[in-house]
């Protein structure tokens, strides 16, 4: 059974694709999302085998979404688009396949054959991911898009991942691993990342520990494991 997540801002497009996939059979639709914020949450929690992904969506598009997914849980991606220029770009991004709207059942069937073959061969998806240019965060009932260069540090706790700017903290569905690899932050602790541009000082302590202080006065722990790497990053 192939586990599928559908992402499209158009309700009727999601419904139509769901019906076509059910007609083909052998699939479990684990979710149907109308935006990238919902989708990244579902990908992180459900780990689908394949993502049928619309490219042109409001606020955050399909390429933005791909840049927010950890490589270890990256599903196979099939772009679904009404725009030929985007379909051509999907090949540049090395996605598994693409479908033009309205989706042709035969084309969808061929795409599913490719997916089954890739799953059977245990071929890991290998897409070229760009650096993050916005970090989607939730603040009450609002979605706040934060410039990665405005973030001073990131902290993970039992409630999730939080990014901190001079304005305060904001919750995000992105993982520490994604933020470390695609936003240029430095790991200073298992649960902390720091933006090197905001490091004001590194204060060494006893037992090989240390503390990082940022320009806004935030104080972050530095574990023994990461102290040497942090110093190397600043040629200390």
pTM across the whole model: 0.88
Rg (CA), the chain: 20
Do β-strands 160-165 and 153-157 pair in parallel, antiparallel, or remain unpaired?
antiparallel
Tally of CB atoms within 10 A around 150:
15
Are 154 and 162 in contact by the 8 Å Cβ rule? The answer is yes
Which residue, among 107, 81, 99, 95, has the nearest Cα to 24 in the 3D structure? Answer: 107
How far apart are the C-alpha atoms of 218 and 208, rounded to whole Å? 20
Record the tokens describing residue 107, joined without a space: 């084309």
Strand 50-54 versus strand 76-81 pairing type: parallel
Q: How many residues would you count in the chain?
A: 236
Q: What integer best gives the mean pLDDT of the chain?
A: 91
Domains and CATH numbers, the chain: 2-120 (3.40.50.2300), 135-233 (2.40.50.1020)
Q: Tens digit of pLDDT for each residue in 6-46?
A: 999 999 999 999 999 999 999 999 999 999 999 999 999 99
- Given strand 210-214, what is the order of strands in its sheet? 199-204, 210-214, 219-222
**Helices and strands: H and E segment counts in the chain:** 7, 15
Q: Do 153 and 186 meet the contact criterion of CB atoms below 8 Å apart?
A: no
> How far is 141 from 145, CA to CA, in rounded Å?
13
**Which residue, among 130, 37, 137, 27, has the nearest Cα to 78 in the 3D structure?**
27
Give the C-alpha separation, 31 to 10, whole Å.
14
* % of the chain exceeding 70 in pLDDT: 95
166-211 pLDDT, tens digit per residue, is: 999 999 999 999 999 999 999 999 999 999 999 999 998 888 889 9
């Amino acid at each position: 059974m192939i586990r599928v997540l559908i992402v499209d801002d158009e309700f009727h497009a999601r419904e139509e694709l769901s019906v076509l996939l059910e007609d083909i059979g052998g699939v479990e639709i684990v979710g149907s999302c109308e935006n990238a914020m919902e989708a990244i949450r579902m990908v992180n929690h459900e780990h689908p085998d394949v993502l049928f992904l619309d490219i042109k969506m409001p606020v955050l598009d399909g390429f933005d979404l791909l840049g927010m997914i950890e490589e270890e849980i990256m599903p196979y991606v099939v772009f679904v688009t009404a725009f030929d220029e985007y379909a051509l770009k999907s090949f540049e991004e090395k996605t598994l396949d693409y479908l033009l709207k309205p989706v042709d059942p035969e084309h969808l069937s061929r795409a599913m054959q490719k997916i089954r073959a890739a799953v059977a061969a245990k071929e890991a998806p290998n897409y070229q991911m760009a650096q993050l240019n916005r970090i989607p965060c939730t603040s009450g009932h609002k979605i706040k898009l934060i410039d990665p260069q405005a973030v001073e540090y990131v902290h993970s706790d039992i409630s999730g991942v939080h990014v901190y700017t001079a304005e305060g903290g904001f919750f995000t569905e992105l993982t520490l691993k994604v933020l470390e690899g695609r936003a240029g932050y430095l790991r200073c602790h298992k649960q902390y990342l720091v933006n090197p541009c905001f490091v004001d000082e590194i204060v060494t302590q006893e037992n090989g520990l240390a503390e990082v202080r940022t320009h806004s006065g935030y104080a972050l722990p530095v574990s023994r494991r990461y102290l040497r790497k942090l110093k190397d990053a600043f040629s200390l």
